[in-house]
Structure 1
Amino acid sequence: MKTISIIAFSLMIGLANAQTPNKMKMNAGIITEKLQETKEFYTSILGFGVSFENEFYLLMHTPDESAEISFLLPNHPSQKPVFQTSFNGKGVYLTIEVDNVDKVYEQIKNKGVAIEVEIRDEPWGDRHFAVIDPNGIGIDIVTYTIPEN
């Protein structure tokens, strides 16, 4: 009976673990001197909210709070060397998926933001446009559509 109980318990644990995968959430971080300019851009242009902020760190979330991005001042004494060097403005882009890219395009254009890539359809199914944030990061704003055949 003891053996059957151990087997049953082991099966229950195995099933519970199989149904509960390891949860993982990612937050990209950018090291920049431009915390205030970044906060202004992401809140007023993209509608992001502030999750947390102090004198050297800014954590922001998308309007629906489904994703976050953080910004950190360089060379802050509380941080280890790996988190101190400023982003050089090249080699990073963000993609923001929206329900209606045409509406977002008009809203951003009406706010006087320079459009880096005009709105367009791609054969692989993107309808998108791009802007650049105060740190030089390209932001691709997209609605996915059915790809052309």
Structure 2
Amino acid sequence: MRRLSVIILFATGIVAGCYAQNNVESKKQFAMKMNAGIITEKIQETKAFYQEKLGFGVTFENEFYLLMHTPGHEAQLSFLLPEHPTQQPLFQPKFMGEGMYLTIEVDDVDELYNKLKSEGVKIEIDIRDEPWGDRHFAIKDPNGIGIDLVKYTAQN
């Protein structure tokens, strides 16, 4: 895995749509970085999964929060304990395991597929080529989040 980058499609679409709608009259550009946050009781299992299976590193960690980064530091993903007293109500309910996915682009999807399969990671969608050019497969993390691992191919 030479390069991993997390693409959070739903959030990117929301941010882009809100920015475009709210910025019609203004030409000012805002620098933005983004990381998706998942509220989960399974922080230690999640940390082990992303480190051992996908090569993520830990950017920051305390007793209730974990911030991880892809191997090349291109993107980050965070995890927060539910119902933590330091957090506002918006950030307290735990993720219920549905309605979210991550797309992680990799340089060699076949190599990663073979690695994960040999390690006994359950493959949710077997490796395949799509008519639009993607080659990908899917797994789930300990929180039930679908992870689409993909190699994009330019279409002619």
Q: Same fold (TM over 0.5)?
A: yes
Equivalent residue, structure 2, for 1:61:
69
Which consecutive unaligned segments of at least 5 residues does structure 1 have?
Answer: 1-17
Task: Compute the displacement of 1:100 (Å).
Answer: 0.8
Q: Which has the higher contact order (CA 8 A, sep 6+)?
A: 2
Q: In structure 2, what is the Cα distance between the partners aligned to 1:22 and 1:29?
A: 21
What TM-score results when the alignment is normalised by the length of structure 2?
0.80
Which consecutive unaligned segments of at least 5 residues does structure 2 have?
Answer: 1-26
Equivalent residue, structure 2, for 1:82:
90
Matched, 1:72 2:80: yes
**Does the residue aligned with 1:65 lie in a helix, a strand or coil?**
coil
1:90-140 deviation per Cα after TM superposition (whole angstroms, max 9, x unaligned): 000000000110011111111110000000000111100000000000000
1:50-78 deviation per Cα after TM superposition (whole angstroms, max 9, x unaligned): 00000000000000000000000000000
Q: In structure 1, what is the Cα distance between the partners aligned to 2:101 and 2:146?
A: 5
**Does the residue aligned with 1:129 lie in a helix, a strand or coil?**
strand
- Following TM superposition, the consecutive aligned residue runs of length 4 or more in structure 1 with deviations greater than 6 angstroms are none
Q: In structure 2, what is the Cα distance between the partners aligned to 1:139 and 1:113?
A: 12
2:123 aligned to 115, 133, 145, which one? 115
Which entry has the higher C-alpha Rg, 1 or 2? Answer: 1
Identity of aligned residues (%): 68
Equivalenced residue count is 130
1:97 aligned to 101, 105, 110, which one? 105
Q: In structure 1, what is the Cα distance between the partners aligned to 2:47 and 2:41?
A: 12
RMSD of the TM alignment (CA)?
Answer: 1.4
Q: Aligned AA for 1:138?
A: G
Equivalent residue, structure 1, for 2:145:
137
**Does the residue aligned with 1:108 lie in a helix, a strand or coil?**
helix
Q: In structure 2, what is the Cα distance between the partners aligned to 1:92 and 1:111?
A: 25
Q: Aligned AA for 1:50?
A: V
